[in-house]
Amino acid sequence: MHRASGVLMPMSSLPSPYGIGTMGKSAYQFVDFLKAAGQKYWQLLPLVPTSAGDSPYSSFSTFAGNPYFIDLDLLVKDKLLKKKDLEGIDWGDDPERVDYGKLFDQRSRVLRLAYARGREAFDEALEAFVTENPWVETYALYMALKQRYDMLPWTQWPDEDIRLHKAAAVARCREELKDEIDFHIFVQYLFFDQWASLRTYAHQKGVSFIGDIPIYVALDSADVWSEPQFFQLDEDNVPKEVAGVPPDAFTEDGQLWGNPLYDWDAMEKDGFGWWIRRIDGASKLYDVIRIDHFRGFESYWAVPYGETTAKNGVWKPGPGMKLVGVLTAWFNDLDFIAEDLGYVTPGVRKLLSDSGLPGMKVMQFSFDAHGDSDYLPHNCAANSVCYIGTHDNDTVMGWLKSTRAADRRFAARYMHITEDEGWCWGMIRAGMASASNLFVVQMQDLLELPASARINIPGKPEGNWRWRMLPGKADKELAKKLRLYTETFRRL
């Protein structure tokens, strides 16, 4: 990875008239903004469908695309929708916040109109799409079954045979739910068709995509339902233990994520084929893959199923280089980033070193008035990615209000913060000047936004993932300013 920089901007945060950012006009305009600003990378959050809590890190499928990101104006252009189909729909009344409840109620109804108009015209394209993406039939069946059972998770489906994914029940349900299955396949075709066009445009402009792979998948997902043999489940497909992280200085009870844990022995016996398929799917979306919670490959926190906090877990060994080596060898044309944040042990450091992958440096964690930090810009190794903060951190303006006064004074002295430049651009300058090959800044910090624009508060189950940028904010003047910083520190 050469010296460069990029912007972290969730697809959901783009402006649009339909309640959430999409792969339409605003996405193309944002690519143009990145090009004008001299940025090489657009970093995204996972593009998968969201489930309870609206988190892109908890999805019904690790392969599928989020139907909310399908641009409706492009469907009008393709004659799959009419302008009048979109009139009078309430997508939410706050242009700076996503209203997921209204999206859930409205988006599917509109997409079903497109399906009714276009299903026959796309027969050949859909057949080719299914051949190239075999996961989509399982996903579509899963979503059709969730519709049948009032969106209940598969663990609560009343039909035991289909809950346990028995072959005869799967075949029967494929026949019974054929039209609903075809609808979900059609929606995925639309998503990936629009994404391919956007990605091609970005590449023509010299912009590449960084995307996240959450280390775990949700229990309520087609992935666990259809391939339970790769997860730590009992004979009734109930988890034995679940994922989380132990208590630390930020969370007294730790974080109980609740994801099912992998059966690493079963995966290794299969040659890690499940992970190879997963990365192959992600490669159709992203040019660089950030592996979230990379330290879980070295060892992971296992919490007994049924616990209400993460306190009573234990550390267990992960697959280490047996898996990481397979992935980097198999996908030698892909770049990876290891999210090595959290409790970093000597074992995690060794795995990162052995893998050769760049780790992450978060400046907000670095300013300790009484000690040194690996995350200070002058300590960053070239083979690393420097962030002021990630989607799990506050904005710079929010961080300023919550950090200790002594640390704030140290940070101001270290970065030589001036009133004219301000904290946001002072921290951007320091990150740009770091030795890290890649520097990524959140869009909110380019816009100098307060804590209300924060994307996510870890451990808070509701109210996250909602911030949206107002139209016109990523303008020529902002691009010119960012380009000057980028050029100064030789990241063009």
pLDDT tens track for 393-427? 999 999 999 999 999 999 999 999 999 999 999 99
pLDDT tens track for 251-272? 889 989 999 999 999 999 999 9
Q: Is 333 a catalytic residue?
A: no
CB-count burial class (<10 Å; 0-12, 13-18, 19+) for 315: middle
What confidence score (pLDDT) does residue 1 get? 82
CATH of domain 4-218+263-301+319-488: 3.20.20.80
Per-residue pLDDT at 250 exceeds 80:
no
Q: Is 372 a catalytic residue?
A: no
What sign does the CA torsion over 155, 232, 167, 132 have? positive
Burial call 64-87: b when 16+ CB within 10 Å, e when fewer: bbbbbbbbbbbbbebebbeeebbe
Q: Is 339 a catalytic residue?
A: yes
Q: Which residues pair with 337 in a beta bridge?
A: 290
- pTM tops 0.85: yes
Residue tagged active-site, from 159, 253, 368, 392: 392
* Helix boundaries (H) for 133-177: 135-148, 160-163, 167-176
Going along 207-252, which residue ranges are E strands?
A: 208-213, 241-245
Per-residue pLDDT at 446 exceeds 90:
yes
Taking the C-alpha atoms of residue 41 and residue 2, their distance in angstroms, rounded to an integer, is 12
pLDDT tens track for 42-74? 999 999 999 888 999 999 999 999 999 999 999
Residue whose structure tokens are 């391919």: 196
Taking the C-alpha atoms of residue 234 and residue 14, their distance in angstroms, rounded to an integer, is 42
Q: Which structure tokens are listed for 152?
A: 């209940």
Short-list 433, 423, 421, CA closest to 489: 433
Residue tagged active-site, from 71, 180, 241, 339: 339
Comparing 75-79, 315-319, 367-371, the range with the smallest average pLDDT is 367-371
pLDDT tens track for 346-387? 999 999 999 999 999 999 999 999 889 999 999 999 999 999
Residue tagged active-site, from 54, 71, 220, 292: 292
pLDDT tens track for 1-33? 899 999 999 999 999 999 999 999 999 999 999
Say which amino acid occupies 74.
Answer: L
101 contact partners, CB below 8 Å, separation of at least 6: none
Q: Which structure tokens are listed for 322?
A: 């047996």
Extents of the domains making up the chain: 4-218+263-301+319-488
| Beta strand 314-317 pairing with 299-304 | antiparallel
Q: From residue 460, how far is each of 223, 245, 311, 342, 399 by CA, in Å?
A: 25, 14, 17, 18, 17
